[in-house]
Structure formats: structure tokens, C-alpha cells
């Protein structure tokens, strides 16, 4: 999955791992509490990632245009389609 997600993002596997860990480190309140009491000198300022991203961020992928509505095939049981 890591390889496929990196391909989807058009990035490297390292980039995906670094960004995922950075997000986990920022969001994990228990980790921050533990880090503050156990390693007070290692705590990073708010908003600063403890890891440097391997790749620069890339623009978000363009969203594909929605498909044209296609008529529903008739239900062989004779039921009407639900909205």
C-alpha cells in the first residue's frame, strides 16, 4: 500500500512515511505529554515538524470532472429505481 500511495501522490515512499509520522507526532497528545516529561529538550515548537520532508510538497491532484449522468438500466424485477 505504501508504494501505491506514493505513486498516487507522485512522491517517494520516504516522503509518505515522513509526512505520516510528522502528522502522528503533531496530533498525538499522549506522546507530547510523555515527551515533555521524559525528554523536555527534544520537544519541537508547535507547527514545526521533527522531521524534514524528503520531497517538497506537490500541488493537490486535479479532481476529475464528474461523469455525465447515464440512464439507469431497467430493473429486471420491475421495481422503480430509488432516488
Task: Please say whether the beta carbons of 53 and 15 come within 8 A.
Answer: yes
Give the separation between CA 34 and CA 25, rounded to whole angstroms: 12
Q: What is the pLDDT of residue 42?
A: 82
Task: Please say whether the beta carbons of 27 and 34 come within 8 A.
Answer: no
Task: Please say whether the beta carbons of 23 and 47 come within 8 A.
Answer: no
In this predicted model, what pLDDT tens digit does every residue of 33-49 receive, in sequence order?
A: 998 899 988 856 555 54
In this predicted model, what pLDDT tens digit does every residue of 72-81 receive, in sequence order?
A: 566 566 666 5
Amino acid at each position: 500500500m505504501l508504494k501505491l500511495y506514493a505513486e498516487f501522490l507522485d512522491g517517494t515512499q520516504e516522503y509518505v512515511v515522513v509526512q505520516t509520522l510528522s502528522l502522528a507526532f503533531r496530533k498525538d497528545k499522549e506522546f507530547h505529554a510523555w515527551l515533555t516529561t521524559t525528554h523536555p529538550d527534544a520537544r519541537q515548537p508547535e507547527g514545526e515538524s521533527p522531521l524534514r520532508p524528503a520531497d517538497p510538497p506537490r500541488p493537490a491532484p486535479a479532481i476529475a470532472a464528474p461523469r455525465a449522468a447515464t440512464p439507469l438500466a431497467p430493473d429486471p424485477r420491475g421495481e422503480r429505481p430509488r432516488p
